[in-house]
Amino acid sequence: MRDVFDEDDLEVSLETSAEDVEEWDSLSHVRLIVAVERKFGFKFKNSEIEALKNVGDLVNMVATKTA
């Protein structure tokens, strides 16, 4: 997330959402999703992306897809 948002001191928790990160706009959201897909070698469905509300949701979805 620090690379995507270009913020070396970015602190996130499972509750962090787009509202908490100034640089988290629609374009950076797409970049984040693409970065996660590349890192872990899978693709999200559009419905999965739309269901994400915070970092915790993203972590849980990655864990499910990589299990």
Amino acid sitting at position 7: E
Sequence ranges of the domains in the chain:
2-66
pLDDT of residue 42: 96
pLDDT of residue 63: 97
Q: What is the pLDDT along the chain (67 residues), one digit of tens a residue?
A: 999 999 999 999 999 999 999 999 999 999 999 999 999 999 999 999 999 999 999 999 999 999 8
Helices assigned H by DSSP within 6-54: 26-40, 46-51
Whole-angstrom Cα distance, residue 57 to residue 42? 16
Classify domain 2-66 by CATH architecture. Orthogonal Bundle (1.10)
pLDDT of residue 32: 97
Amino acid sitting at position 32: L
pLDDT of residue 53: 96
